[in-house]
């Protein structure tokens, strides 16, 4: 947990982690077989809710919960899944509830651990736009300093920025960034 306070991210190289946290001296390996086993257990639990599941990575999935269109029902189901994972599988998950994958991913990363967050269209400006631009999903490490040099510090700044100017600096990726910031 101390390494996280220094800004070390999961999956970062030891070299990069030691630059951020020079006193780092405990390295924990990964038991991939066990990780895969629990990933599969989670996936099977999620299949009880829908068969429309897209595995994004070993520890992330997107679920199409169209069957539960009422927002309060979606939130109730998300809280139920969160509780069941903890009780039945013995670990915690963050869940993002939204109408598309980008917003669901953004919501799931708001605060951790063991949280359920929403990011509906009417919440984008209040919840997402105030975040640092570096928090925008799929934004590369090289793009952030360029954006900050353009006085784009928050996702809201990016959302309000001139799309054509972004395209001149970043090409097609500038349009994609702008669209992600304005996702609704």
Residue 57's DSSP bridge partners are: 60
- Cβ–Cβ < 8 Å for 158, 133: yes
Q: Which of 12, 60, 135, 148 is catalytic?
A: 60
Cα–Cα distance measured from residue 126 to residue 155, given in angstroms and rounded to the nearest whole number:
11
| Beta-carbon contacts of residue 92 (< 8 Å; ≥ 6 apart) | 82, 85, 86, 113, 114
Query: What element of type H or E holds 139?
Result: none
Cα–Cα distance measured from residue 102 to residue 106, given in angstroms and rounded to the nearest whole number:
6
Examine the residue annotation and report whether 37 is marked as an active-site residue of this protein. no
Both structure tokens of 137: 């999903």
List active site positions. Answer: 60
């Amino acid at each position: 947990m101390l390494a996280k306070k220094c800004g070390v991210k999961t999956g970062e190289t030891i070299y990069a982690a030691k630059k951020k946290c020079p006193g780092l001296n405990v390295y924990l390996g990964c038991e991939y077989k066990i990780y895969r086993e629990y990933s599969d257990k989670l996936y099977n639990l999620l299949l009880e809710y829908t068969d429309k599941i897209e595995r994004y990575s070993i520890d992330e999935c997107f679920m199409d919960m169209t069957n539960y269109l009422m927002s309060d029902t979606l939130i109730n189901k998300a809280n139920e899944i969160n509780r069941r994972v903890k009780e039945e599988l013995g670990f915690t998950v963050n869940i993002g509830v939204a109408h598309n994958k980008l917003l669901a991913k953004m919501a799931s990363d708001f605060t951790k651990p063991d949280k359920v967050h929403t990011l509906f269209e009417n919440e984008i400006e209040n919840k997402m736009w105030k975040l640092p631009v570096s928090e925008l999903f799929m934004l590369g490490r090289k793009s952030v300093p360029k954006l900050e040099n353009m006085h784009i510090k928050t996702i809201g700044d990016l959302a309000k920025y001139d799309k054509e100017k972004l395209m001149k600096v970043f090409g097609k990726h500038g349009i994609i960034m702008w669209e992600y910031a304005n996702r609704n």
